[in-house]
Amino acid sequence: MLRTNTCGDLNVHDVGKIVKLAGWVQKNRNLGGMTFIDLRDRYGVTQLAFDMEINAELCDIARNLGREFVIQIVGEVIERSAKNLNIPTGEIEINVSKINVLNESKLPPFTIENKTDGGEELRMKYRYLDIRRDPIKNNLILRHRITSKTRNYLDLKGFCEIETPYLIKSTPEGARDFIVPSRVNPTQFYALPQSPQTFKQLLMVGGMDKYYQIVKCFRDEDLRSDRQPEFTQIDCEMSFVNQEDVLNTFEGLIINLFKEIKGIELSQFPRITYKEAISTYGTDKPDIRFGMKFVDLTNLCKGTEFNVFNEAELIIGINVKGGSSFSRKDIDKYTEFIRSSQINAKGLVYCKYNEDGSFKSSVDKFFNQEQLNNWSEACKSSPGDLILIIAGEESNTRNALSELRLLVAENLEIRNNSEFAPIWVVDFPLYEWDKESNRYHSMHHPFTSPKSSDIDHIKNNPNDLIADAYDLVINGNEIGGGSIRIHNKEIQKIIFEHLGFNQEEARNQFGFLMDAFEYGAPPHGGIAFGLDRLCSVIGGKESIRDFIAFPKNNSARDTMIDSPSYINHEQLDDLNLKLKN
């Protein structure tokens, strides 16, 4: 080894030892008589001391070391006179006797500090320098710890990690596949998996009983911010289980992760039905760190001359604790927000509950104090609170109030990143009606089982079918989702019919799975967690990108290696392909 210790190792107990360290020059301070260098590696920072009076030649070399030079030094651990108790090595320094420059460095394009002067674009292009910064380095180590603890937990529970193939078969349904031309099978193509869904089900048919895999998945989606074309799942499946077993097993995983990684003891996760989530929070990804639940005011608000309300399908409000202090300008901003093109609601009605017990609303012309008092009672408002009300078409109104709820909470700083509020959302509808294609789509995927209580009337009312499907939501982020699968080929056939597959299409795409189900498929179910998002939630950050070592940008490009890129004609020729234009 080129070192006896790392730069995070040494403390007062090591005083007197002769050590060898290697690392990067973080800082170089020439104080005239003395020169101090902060030497950095993954494990910490150690101060090196050079005294002009003792060894002028060495001190001179030290003074000329630039930022990010890689050096190896030999020296004695001595106690510092001016201690820095903020870092573990802050009580000692190294009295250097020998220096060896292992590699020089050009001046980095941005500062390698916790707060850097580098913008996102520059940091991505020089990601290998960005990774030297503590925030990114610590995110990658956090990710490693999360996967490591996840594996330990699942191993202990008898799960077996099994690798499924990456070169699989394209299925035109759903999101777009990345495809891979086969050279040795000309004119034929592999596809990269969007998830190992069918393989994990085949492993259950194969009797593996408990499977997991931490695995890359691929989706050639249109570009959206904070979406990666390749992303990582913690993918799991179990046999001979019902929904309750899956929820308990993986609630245990998440509780264990928070305990081991954050030292936080989460209590049992609440559960909410999809229907309830939509009516209470306007979303199936509710952030329950704070209240402001929806109150249905439709009946209370109708029957005056205010036609906006009279014509509305739904009128809902939220009570903002202490919100009566919001200024006119605050409320105007919220009105603007919900009217913006991305939200597209008509307008915002407010009702302030003044400290003196009176009400002030934006629709005082149409509603008297008694009526406003009725709203206030429905919303359980107290003096000093503010009710915000949106009205209109049902689904759009719910969505608008959901977004408003989050924004208000954000501004009130009650979305606390060090608080964690997980919730299971259950009882999803099996299908959603797609107006464009004029047919049902699977809300989860076509292998999701309807609730066993629904199976008897499965043929009658596709629209009413409830799925044995569940999502785990933490702080408003969908962290994972899964379902109990269909293991009965007759039911699978009916589902395919509902989805508008003819038999041939179903066979073409899922023939091998349907075949497999003929040979004794066990009841089974599972879940998949989005690792990138799980890391960012546990890390308390919004963006997933800084939890990925080498992420792609919003144009699906890796700007560091400059990929994707053009390839030469020979490569295309070999693949029997040509560019269309």
> 15 vs 556, which CB is nearer to its own copies?
556
**Hey, what are 166's tokens?**
């990456």
Question: CB neighbours of 132 closer than 8 A, spacing ≥ 6?
Answer: 24, 40, 68, 112
356 is an interface residue for its own copies by CB under 8 A: no
Question: CB neighbours of 571 closer than 8 A, spacing ≥ 6?
Answer: none
Sole binder of its own copies in the list 135, 229, 347, 384 (CB under 8 A): 229
Sole binder of its own copies in the list 222, 305, 436, 504 (CB under 8 A): 222
Contacts to its own copies from residues 180-209, by CB under 8 A = 180-185, 187-192, 198-199, 202-203, 205-209
Determine contact, residues 139/539, Cβ cutoff 8 Å.
yes
- Choices 88-96, 367-375, 404-412, 565-573 (CB under 8 A): range interacting with its own copies: 565-573
Nearest to 97 by CA among 75, 114, 116, 78: 75
Length of the chain: 581
Sole binder of its own copies in the list 242, 344, 416, 460 (CB under 8 A): 242
24 is an interface residue for its own copies by CB under 8 A: yes
| Count of residues engaged in binding its own copies, rule: CB under 8 A | 125
Nearest to 237 by CA among 349, 332, 154, 146: 154
What single-letter DSSP state applies at residue 221? P
> 330 vs 558, which CB is nearer to its own copies?
558
Question: CB neighbours of 456 closer than 8 A, spacing ≥ 6?
Answer: none
CB of 530 vs its own copies, minimal distance in Å: 14
> 405 vs 485, which CB is nearer to its own copies?
485
Q: List, as one string, the DSSP characters of 14-77.
A: GTT-EEEEEEEEEEEEE-SSEEEEEEEETTEEEEEEEETTT-HHHHHHHHTPPTT-EEEEEEEE
Sole binder of its own copies in the list 14, 130, 235, 385 (CB under 8 A): 130
**Hey, what are 199's tokens?**
């393989």
CB of 366 vs its own copies, minimal distance in Å: 50
Report strand pairing: 524-530 vs 92-103: unpaired
Phi, psi of 246 (to 5 degrees): -65, -45
> 282 vs 482, which CB is nearer to its own copies?
482
105 is an interface residue for its own copies by CB under 8 A: yes
Sole binder of its own copies in the list 60, 79, 104, 434 (CB under 8 A): 104
| Pattern 401-440, its own copies, x by CB under 8 A | ----------------------------------------
Sole binder of its own copies in the list 35, 37, 38, 40 (CB under 8 A): 40
Nearest to 197 by CA among 226, 169, 160, 228: 169
567 is an interface residue for its own copies by CB under 8 A: yes
519 is an interface residue for its own copies by CB under 8 A: yes
CB of 332 vs its own copies, minimal distance in Å: 38
**Hey, what are 574's tokens?**
């070999």
* Residue 413 three-state SS: coil
| Pattern 478-507, its own copies, x by CB under 8 A | ---------xx-------------------
569 is an interface residue for its own copies by CB under 8 A: no
Give me the helix-helix angle, 274-281 and 394-411, nearest 10°.
70
Contacts to its own copies from residues 61-80, by CB under 8 A = 68-70, 72
